[in-house]
């Protein structure tokens, strides 16, 4: 059954436009509280990133949960994976994250974690939606929920991150630049990397509510590249606004994306006989990664785009490593969700263990040129029934043959149609991507 409010990664949109409004979030808090009150007695964690609307939505959720008779623990600014970890270790009934991840400050969203630190199962999301369409009520005053702040949340998560690598690994002398995107990791990531011994230079650590992801972090690595080259750092680490994405930069200023990072971790785990099951990528995973893993006799499975689908495929196939080229990397042998800090530590551990630079570690994988064009769409269109678009896709696939591929899909988090073309010849790939994108624009206009 289709969901009315929940998308592939919770509920997300522009602040002030339904459903990302204070009154809806009040009702959402109440509906969530009703569902978890039925599941049993306990409390719900609420954390957020640094965007200015987080204050408003934190209060609205707290009020709704209180009205439903559920206790709340407020975490303040915390990375999404940190909230997942605390939900699990504190045995909370659920964790609620107020964040729009890599989106600009004027967007926001809500996503949930179960007591296991994973995304809520579909049946609970359907149950929450059923309450959203019901009149809101308030429990008797004696049964109202209570709220308080968890003051040591950051310290707990910092120690968890550090514990994801052996304590014998000392990164003294390793110069690292960390870009926190003015987001939720601003007070977490620098201490983590400093306390494992690295010489850390931090940028993107001055959030003001409006500058989250603003030409910085995992989606805009230019500032990180410049700083790595300026100070002669060994590597750069770029996180997004809620800390679940990771991009890295080597000492030459070359960006190392999610596919390359997954390849490095997979090869490292295999060499130490610690890789279990297949590696899971997505439809966007570069062909170069698939070919590189094949040479290592590592199977690659492709899920739909979205960390939810990567996780589902990992669980179904008893895998432990997967992710997306955008930097969502899931190391199930370390944690239960995508975690930028923990993923970066796994790469640093391999640098320490192998004695090789990040640049050398990524050299085993050669990426195919991949061109992605995002076409803005104010209205939803059925791509399958857009005849000219489908004809353009077929023509491009014929031109590429077995040396490339086409992916055309609607974004699950933004009003965009994503056109991706991949192949050996960059000029041909660019030309083909533009051809399809132009047909998509015509279909939208029509």
244-301 per-position pLDDT tens digit: 999 999 999 999 999 999 999 999 999 999 999 999 999 989 989 998 999 999 999 9
Tokens describing residue 95 = 């964790």
Tell me the HSE value of 360 on the side-chain side, using a 13 A CA sphere: 9
Q: Report yes or no: 220 and 249 within 8 Å, Cβ to Cβ.
A: no
How many residues are there in the chain? 446
User: What is the model's pLDDT at position 437?
Assistant: 96
Domains of the chain listed by start with CATH number:
11-151 (3.40.120.10), 171-255 (3.40.120.10), 257-340+350-367 (3.40.120.10), 370-445 (3.30.310.50)
Pairing between strand 43-48 and 71-77? parallel
User: Which run of H or E residues covers position 300?
Assistant: strand 300-303
Q: Using the 8-state DSSP alphabet, how is residue 170 labeled?
A: -
Written as one string, the DSSP assignment of 229-294 is HHHT-SEEEEE-TTS-BEEEEETTS-EE-HHHHHHHHHHHHHHTT---S-EEEETTS-HHHHHHHH
Alpha carbon distance 221, 218 (integer Å): 6
Burial environment of residue 72 by CB neighbours within 10 A (0 to 12, 13 to 18, 19 or more): buried
Alpha carbon distance 281, 317 (integer Å): 13
User: What is the model's pLDDT at position 1?
Assistant: 67
Alpha carbon distance 399, 436 (integer Å): 13
Low-confidence residues of the chain: pLDDT under 70: 1, 413
Burial environment of residue 104 by CB neighbours within 10 A (0 to 12, 13 to 18, 19 or more): middle
Sheet holding 321-323, edge to edge: 300-303, 279-282, 321-323, 329-331
Cis peptide before 284 (omega within 30 of 0): no
Tens of pLDDT along 138-155?
A: 999 999 999 999 999 999
Q: Which residues are catalytic?
A: 101
Written as one string, the DSSP assignment of 225-247 is HHHHHHHT-SEEEEE-TTS-BEE
Torsion 17-22-26-32 (CA) sign: positive
């Amino acid at each position: 059954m289709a969901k009315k409010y929940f998308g592939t990664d919770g509920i997300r949109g522009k602040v002030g436009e339904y459903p990302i409004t204070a009154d809806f979030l009040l009702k959402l808090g109440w509906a969530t509280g009703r569902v978890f009150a039925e599941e049993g007695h306990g409390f719900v964690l609420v954390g957020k990133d640094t965007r200015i609307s987080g204050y408003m939505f934190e209060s609205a959720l707290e009020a709704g949960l209180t009205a439903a008779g559920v206790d709340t623990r407020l975490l303040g600014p915390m990375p999404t994976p940190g909230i997942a970890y605390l939900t699990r270790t504190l045995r909370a009934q659920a964790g609620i994250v107020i964040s729009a991840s890599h989106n600009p400050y004027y967007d926001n969203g809500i996503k949930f974690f179960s007591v296991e630190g994973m995304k809520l199962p579909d049946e609970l999301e359907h149950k929450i939606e059923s309450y959203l369409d019901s009149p809101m009520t308030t429990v008797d005053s004696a049964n109202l929920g209570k709220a308080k702040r968890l003051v040591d949340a950051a310290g707990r998560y910092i120690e968890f991150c550090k514990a994801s690598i052996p304590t014998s690994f000392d990164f003294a002398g390793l110069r690292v630049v960390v870009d926190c995107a003015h987001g939720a990791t601003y007070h977490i990531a620098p201490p983590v990397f400093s306390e494992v011994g690295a010489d850390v230079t931090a940028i993107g650590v001055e959030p003001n509510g409006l500058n989250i992801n603003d030409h910085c972090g995992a989606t805009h690595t230019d500032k990180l590249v410049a700083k790595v080259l300026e100070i002669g750092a060994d590597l750069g680490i770029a996180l997004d606004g809620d800390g679940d994405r990771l991009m890295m930069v080597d000492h030459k200023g070359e960006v190392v994306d999610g596919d390359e990072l997954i390849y490095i971790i997979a090869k490292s785990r295999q060499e130490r006989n610690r890789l279990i099951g297949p590696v899971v990528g997505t439809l966007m995973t570069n062909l170069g990664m698939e070919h590189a893993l094949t040479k290592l006799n590592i199977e690659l499975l492709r899920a739909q785009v979205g960390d939810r689908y990567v996780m589902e495929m990992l669980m179904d196939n008893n895998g432990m490593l997967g992710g997306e080229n955008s930097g969502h990397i899931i190391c199930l042998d370390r944690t239960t969700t995508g975690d930028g800090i923990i993923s970066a530590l796994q790469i640093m551990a391999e640098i320490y263990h192998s004695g090789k630079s990040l640049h050398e570690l990524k050299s085993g994988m050669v990426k195919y040129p991949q061109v992605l064009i995002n076409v803005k769409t104010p209205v939803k269109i059925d791509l399958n029934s857009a005849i000219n678009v489908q004809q353009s896709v077929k023509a491009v696939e014929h031109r590429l043959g077995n040396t490339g591929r086409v992916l055309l899909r609607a974004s699950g988090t933004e009003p965009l149609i994503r056109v991706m073309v991949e192949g050996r010849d960059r000029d041909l790939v660019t030309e083909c991507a533009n051809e399809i994108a132009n047909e998509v624009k015509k279909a939208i206009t029509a």
